[in-house]
A and B are shown apart, each in its own frame.
Chain A
Amino acid sequence: MTTNDFSDETLMAYADGALDPAEAARVGAAVAADPALARRLALFSGTRDVLARAAAARPEAPVPDALMARVRATIEAGRAGAETDATVVPLRRPSVPPRPFRPMAIAAGLALALGLAGGVLVGLSLGDGVPGGLRIATLGTRGLAEALSGLPSGARAAVADGEVAIIASFRNADGELCREFELDAAERATVVSVACREAAGWQTRFAVVAGAVDTGYAPASSLETLDSYLAAIGAGAPLAPLDEAAALSAAGE
């Protein structure tokens, strides 16, 4: 019997009590018979003990009153929103089975949203005249393509009847240059969008309404939807300013 019979992961799971009884018994017998294996195990039981004591030694950290008040207000607002559901663009889709922690389930939810009449996600083709009276600024907005091609991330610029803020540049899994931006147009809903550079120009790949027309209320879940989308397309880290400038310059040629 040698230490190679059990991996570090197995020894660790044994130390953490995470093995099933049969395997735990096998590891226990091997450890009892092999001092080298017992020394290896001690690394894991030792770190477990030290970290547990460190966790217990953490100073008490009561939740500040101000934070508690904000959270309670948010819960109240959520309850009021659930009753009237008037000002919030509906992002909740009760028909999607609750399967938390599964990115694919979220991606499926996104695809479903695309198919909803008057849905949350709009492509370039929708533009104005979306059912339900929402008017949404899109890539057709005059000046937007130029802003996407020319502005560094963090910059804002005036477009047709509003303002665009460039949030970040990144490359997707296919290596295309993509830009995340927000479009705030007067008397239209604010849109958080991702456009990617194709040979023919910028193409909208994702858009989510982040604020209603009259209230400017931005449901936080719109950004969660964006996160899910970015994860689904394998979005890389934001490009550093120099890399971004080089990529934009290359895309414009």
Chain B
Amino acid sequence: MADAFETGLIEALPVLRRYALSMCRKPDIADDLVQTTVERAIAARTRFDPSMRLEPWLFRILRNAWIDSARRSGTRGVEIDITDAPEAAVHDGARATEAALMLRQTQAALAMLPAEQREVIVLVCIEGLSYAEAAEVLEIPRGTVMSRLARGRVALAEKMGIE
């Protein structure tokens, strides 16, 4: 019988995978990141506070795993292109609906932002985390989340012509 933690882990997989893809853009690497996250989460499950939401906790593990792999590969030349490739999201030209175009424009504008601003925007405005949850994922103060998020959104509004 799966317990609540294991069930939560399985249910979080699609969201985790999407978050991993937002960082590395490569499905095979994203799948490895998710697998590593699951391994670390299971090993560290006694440190999870069940009164908190599971997803932000998993996001933090995943992000640390990504930094870890980037740190290790950093000394062996660039193996991973971490610059966003907005066209990767457009998988089917026939489905270039208004929504897909808008998604593409948004991703293109996001890709032009500094990484630290893009990261908080993804967590709060795309993945729906609270400021406090994003602060926990990124291991920075809530006030820093808010200032980065505000600066990032002002820049995004400018790039997308939002007035």
Residues of A within 8 A of B (CB): 7-9, 11-13, 16, 18, 39, 42-44, 46-48, 50-59, 61-64, 66-68, 70-72, 74-75, 78, 91-94, 96, 98-101, 103, 106, 152-154, 167-169, 219-221, 223-224, 227, 231, 237-239, 241, 244
B binding-site residues for A, Cβ under 8 Å: 2, 6, 9-10, 13-14, 17-18, 21, 27, 31, 34-36, 38-40, 42-44, 46-49, 52, 56-57, 60-61, 64, 67-68, 71-72, 74-76, 89, 91, 99-100, 102-103, 106-107, 121, 124-128, 130-131, 136, 139, 143, 146-147, 149-151, 153-154, 156-157, 160, 162-163
CB–CB A57/B103 < 8 A? yes
Interface centre among B13, B100, B103, B153 (most CB of A within 10 A): B153
Q: Output the residue of B43, B68, B106, B130 with the most chain A CB within 10 A.
A: B43
Hey, which chain A residues are within 8 Å of B103, CB to CB?
53-54, 57-58
Give the chain B neighbours of A13 by CB distance below 8 A: 131, 146
- Residue contact A169 to B157, C-beta cutoff 8 Å: no
The answer to whether A71 and B9 touch across the interface, beta carbons within 8 angstroms, is yes
Least Cβ–Cβ distance between A251 and chain B, in angstroms: 17
- Is the CB–CB distance between B71 and A238 below 8 Å? yes
Q: Which chain B residues border A43 with CB–CB below 8 Å?
A: 153-154, 157, 162-163
Are A46 and B157 neighbours in the complex by a CB distance under 8 Å? yes
Contacts of A62 in B (CB 8 A): 14
The 8 Å CB contact of B149, one of A12, A101, A219, is: A12
Q: Are B39 and A50 in touch, CB under 8 angstroms? A: no
From B17, B47, B107, B157, residue with most partner A Cβ within 10 Å: B47
In contact, A101 and B156 (Cβ under 8 angstroms): no
With contacts defined as CB atoms under 8 Å apart, how many contacts are there between chain A and chain B in the complex? 177
Task: Enumerate 23 A-B pairs (CB-CB under 8 Å) in ascending A order.
Answer: A8-B151, A8-B154, A9-B146, A16-B124, A43-B157, A47-B125, A47-B153, A51-B125, A54-B103, A57-B99, A64-B31, A67-B31, A78-B42, A94-B46, A98-B47, A100-B47, A168-B71, A221-B43, A221-B44, A224-B40, A224-B64, A238-B71, A238-B75
Q: Which residues of B contact A8 (CB under 8 A)?
A: 150-151, 154
Max chain B Cβ within 10 angstroms of own Cβ: one of A46, A66, A219, A224 = A224
Q: Contacts A13-B146, A220-B36 hold; do A101 and B57 have CB atoms under 8 A apart?
A: yes
Kindly list chain A residues whose C-beta atoms are within 8 Å of the C-beta of B125.
47-48, 51-52, 55
